[in-house]
Structure 1
């Protein structure tokens, strides 16, 4: 092994493991924050009563225009 490369040591490994364990314990004991749920807006119209469900909407029309040769 060359002089420029640091040789891994047990002391460094144990120190790193202790720091990682302490960080894990700190995160586990922090109080949980609850984000308020936002109301979900109804963005899609209801399904047709007689079955089906395919609708030609504006974005579908734009897609069809891009596929024309």
Structure 2
């Protein structure tokens, strides 16, 4: 019975370490992704314009 408790305790601490590592990864991931996003400049002329309603549409199509 003592051996089974050791295994359960080890698996608990291993799971706790896995959850902590996942939490750190989630905390750091959005910073790396958002820093590489570049906003395009507004084009000059009478053609396609990136207006607010177009930006809203693009936001609704992303996951």
- TM-score class normalised by the smaller sequence: 0.3 to 0.5
TM-score by length of 2: 0.39
Which has the higher relative contact order, 1 or 2, with Cα contacts under 8 A spaced 6 or more apart?
Answer: 2
Q: Which has the larger share of helix?
A: 2
Radius of gyration: which is bigger? 1
